[in-house]
Structure 1
Amino acid sequence: MGTSAVLRGRSAVRRAARSSPMNAAARWGLAARGTLYLLIGALALSIAFGGDEQADRGGALRELASRPFGEFLIWAVGVGLVGMALWRLSEAAFGASGPDGRKKHKRAMSGARAVFYGVIAYSVLSFAAGEQGSGSSDEQSRDVTAQALGLPGGQWLVAGTGLAIAGAGVWIGVRALRRSFHKDLKRAEMPQGARRAVDVLGVTGGVARGAFFAAAGAFAVRAAADYDPDEAKGMDDTLRTFADTPAGPWLLVAMAVGLALFGLFSFALARWRRV
């Protein structure tokens, strides 16, 4: 095959990655992510006021399953997350939108996000197919941490992973405060009121999401330092620790509201994000 044919083939694949179906997949994925965060925020808010729900992905899926057309909604969320993973994979392969979208670090980040959303999509689709999973996110975190600590150099592996998660949380929060999401939005198409509302959702929701990841990463580092997998916490336990601070349940209320707002922000991205 000649060089020109190869280039034409690559160009065709690149156009497919930016096609209307991929655009739809990305927006469906953002809406699916928004649904999960909105439900997790609502469950965390219930916990702050004495509820005993499980504020993590499993709790959100069980909440969906209890609603009319719940099975259909869970499948819709799972398929949407597959679309999210494929969109991020296409960005890793061909570059994201924007002038710096094809830089190596941007493509590497998109690849990591593709893996992340692929894992979440698999768990959601497994739940939809009737597989309830191995338990809560807290149990899964402890099991994975215990297995990692048993490997050669396991303490360093767990500590490094925890630091990476905590660092990602700080990065998410700082980007939210700096309104870095502006460059990804079609702001010229947005009414002025929508711009203001999306700014509130993006900053507040992004800071809450960043705080959650930073806390979860810190618990993983502590588990490595103490060589104790019970110190690792999933989403539910991590959120509950915010109620154990001197601020009491009100800090958990703030986190719950923030995560719910991030869910609404994801819906706004599904409408106005450049893909």
Structure 2
Amino acid sequence: MSSTASNVKHHASRAADSKPLEFLARGGFVGYGIIHLLFAWIALQVAFGGSRKESDQSGALTELASKPFGKTLLVIIVIGLFAMALWQLFEAIVGESGEQTKGAVAERVISGIRAGLYVYLGWVAIKVVQGAKASMGDNSESTSAGLMHSTGGRWLVGFAGLVVLGVGIGIFVYGLSKKFTKHLNTGQMPAATRQPITRLGMAGYMAKGVAYSIAGILFVTAAVTYDADKARGLDGALKTLAGHPWGVWLLALIAVGIAAFGVYCFAQAKYRKI
């Protein structure tokens, strides 16, 4: 390793151990939990009330902004999300344990992806605070439509769908196998709460995995049928379910799982290894 790379890792490692960053990142998990609880509530409204609200994280942010002091809370959440992104970026650079095994390298890649996700969600939240239109579904549909009008664009949309499908399956397996528990300080948990927290994490990750898998399938369908309307990400996936009698109940189960993930985020705020 070059001296420059070693120096970068050294400074990143020191920054990752910053107590203020840890405090802000833990607060970010609380905000992330609130977003998912609102996301779950909107999904239930879509399932049983025929709501046309954006049934994804951007819809949850918009819902929060409409409440008293909602925009103030959104600003606080943005700070937490950016702190989480910075923490995950440091994890991507130095790794959680400093190991160089294939598994550790994969974790660092995942940390980098999480950092990008938190930055994107924070950016969407900023747009909501500013009163600008910030629909993830519309952005996804618009991008897909643009791609499909370019040479090879349909193949790119289809490939993106396969990637999202793979991510969804990966998230589902991640929850089912309880791999997320290795990131928790389980020894600090009271014995009575350890199993409930684990079950919340399992339900949450598996529900999100199903939702992303359906979104991926719809992206592939959009490419095959040349219909960008289907490429709306989670919003399109959940509203597609709501359009079928059997899908309504699956959507309700997904909503409950997303709510479980929201509560699990509160547990992460206290017990996540940071």
Fold match by TM threshold 0.5: yes
One-letter code aligned to 2:91: E
One-letter code aligned to 2:18: S
Q: After TM superposition, what 4+ stretches of structure 1 lie above 6 angstroms from structure 2?
A: 3-6
Alignment of 1:193-272 (within 5 A): 193-272=192-271
Percent of aligned positions with the same letter in both sequences?
Answer: 38
Q: Tell me, yes or no, if the aligned pair for 2:46 and 2:242 is still in contact at 8 Å.
A: no
Deviation at 1:7, TM superposition (A): 5.5
Deviation at 1:156, TM superposition (A): 1.9
3-state DSSP of counterpart to 2:246: coil
Structure 1 residues 207 and 122, CA gap change in structure 2 (3 angstroms): same
Deviation at 1:25, TM superposition (A): 3.0
Q: Tell me, yes or no, if the aligned pair for 2:230 and 2:236 is still in contact at 8 Å.
A: no
Deviation at 1:151, TM superposition (A): 3.1
Q: Matched residues in 1 for 2:21 and 2:174: separation?
A: 26
RMSD (Å), alpha carbons: 2.3
Question: Aligned residue for 2:89?
Answer: 89
Question: Aligned residue for 1:191?
Answer: 190
Higher mean Cα deviation, 121-130 or 9-18? 9-18
Deviation at 1:99, TM superposition (A): 5.2
Higher mean Cα deviation, 199-208 or 224-233? 224-233
Deviations 1:101-155 (A, max 9, x none): 883322222222212221111111122133233xx33322210101122333212
3-state DSSP of counterpart to 1:55: coil
Q: Matched residues in 2 for 1:268 and 1:97: separation?
A: 22
Alignment of 1:106-255 (within 5 A): 106-133=107-134, 136-255=135-254
Q: Tell me, yes or no, if the aligned pair for 2:15 and 2:90 is still in contact at 8 Å.
A: no
Q: Tell me, yes or no, if the aligned pair for 2:12 and 2:90 is still in contact at 8 Å.
A: no
Question: Aligned residue for 1:60?
Answer: 60
Q: Tell me, yes or no, if the aligned pair for 2:12 and 2:93 is still in contact at 8 Å.
A: no
Alignment of 1:5-84 (within 5 A): 10-52=9-51, 53-84=53-84
Q: Tell me, yes or no, if the aligned pair for 1:139 and 1:234 is still in contact at 8 Å.
A: no
> How many aligned positions are there?
271
Q: Matched residues in 2 for 1:162 and 1:262: separation?
A: 24
TM-score between the two structures when normalised by the length of structure 1: 0.89
One-letter code aligned to 1:120: L
Gaps of 5+ in 2: none
Question: Aligned residue for 1:103?
Answer: 104
Gaps of 5+ in 1: none
TM-score between the two structures when normalised by the length of structure 2: 0.90
Deviation at 1:4, TM superposition (A): 8.2
Deviation at 1:227, TM superposition (A): 2.4
Q: Matched residues in 1 for 2:55 and 2:77: separation?
A: 17
Deviations 1:25-81 (A, max 9, x none): 321222222111110101111222215233223321232123221111111121211
One-letter code aligned to 1:103: A
